[in-house]
Amino acid sequence: ATAAVTVTQDSLLNVCMDAKHHKTEPGPEGQLYGQCILWKDNACCTANTSLEAHQDQSYLYNFNWDHCGAMPEKCKRHFIQDMCLYECSPNLGPWIDQVDSSWRKERIRDVPLCQEDCEQWWEDCQDAVTCKVNWHKGWNWTTGTNQCPKGAMCQKFKFVFPTAAALCEQIWSGSYRYTSHHRGSGRCIQMWFDPTQGNPNAVVAQYYA
């Protein structure tokens, strides 16, 4: 039985999800771009994907951050970081879930985000403007890029997401879970870390696996 448990555990560690742009398995990527560089030693994303993650109108998902006017840079960097984590991290195995969608077979659900990462995201984005709580669905895609659905009002994030927890848990339909765990605790996933100190998320995945 122990052997079986170990196999299950190992299959959750150092894996890439089966989604739109992910590599089949993680490995070094010398040329990762910008904020995605944290994962260059072991990544599920290619250099090309990491570059596209930084574009305002990226071909990755044709998603437009500026759907209610220009998103402030200090806010946008959190969305870029969120995308780098999603596309590049090999440490999300314990939270990978099967989905039946046209563009991906797997997604992440309830990834325990460190409190600081979530709070800082909310802090830097509270004055950015959006018209939707859940960014995964319900957009008007008739132009080929996401636009606010008819009748949706553009409001500041702080009114759409009154708390940091609301932002992290609702914006990508439950991909993240707000936690009171702190960076370095080994109990929560960090969107931001110092790559010279190694990747702190590997031990977190191991703990939850």
Per residue in 15-42, pLDDT (tens digit) is: 999 999 999 999 999 889 999 999 999 9
Closest of 165, 169, 202 to residue 186, by C-alpha = 202
Please tell me the predicted confidence (pLDDT) of residue 2: 54
**What is the CA 78 to chain-centroid distance, rounded?**
9
Residue 30 and residue 75: Cα distance in Å, rounded? 27
Would you state the pLDDT for residue 103? Answer: 81
Closest CA to 76 of 159, 157, 194: 157
Distance of alpha carbon 78 from alpha carbon 85, whole angstroms: 10
The answer to whether residue 3 is domain-embedded is no
Residue 1 lies in a domain: no
Domain count across the chain: 1
Residue 6 is predicted with a pLDDT of 54
Statement: residue 100 has pLDDT above 90: no
Does residue 73 lie in a domain region? yes
**Average pLDDT of 2-25?**
79
Kindly report the number of other CB atoms within 10 A of residue 165's CB atom.
Answer: 19
- CB atoms inside a 10 Å sphere around CB 142: 7
Give the other-Cβ count within 10 Å of 114's Cβ. Answer: 26
Residue 92 belongs to what domain range?
9-208
Q: Is the pLDDT of residue 1 over 60?
A: no
Query: Residue 49 and residue 89: Cα distance in Å, rounded?
Result: 13
Burial class (CB in 10 A: 0-12, 13-18, 19+), 198: exposed
Distance, in Å, from the CA atom of 47 to the CA atom of 15, rounded to the nearest integer, reads: 18
- In this predicted structure, what is the pLDDT of residue 9? 62
Mean pLDDT of the chain: 93
Per DSSP, 71 falls in state P
Q: What is the mean pLDDT of residues 172-196?
A: 96
Tell me, what's the pLDDT at 133? 97
Query: Residue 69, SS3?
Result: strand
Read off the pLDDT of residues 58-91 as tens digits, 9 standing for 90 and up. Answer: 778 889 999 999 999 999 999 999 999 999 999 9
73 is written with which tokens? 């840079």
Burial class (CB in 10 A: 0-12, 13-18, 19+), 188: buried
Evaluate whether residue 119 is within a structural domain: yes
Q: Is residue 4 part of a domain?
A: no
In a domain, 170, yes or no: yes
pLDDT digits (tens, 9 = 90+) for 123-174: 999 999 999 999 999 999 999 999 999 999 999 999 999 999 999 999 999 9
**In a domain? residue 163:** yes
- One-letter amino acid at 15 equals V
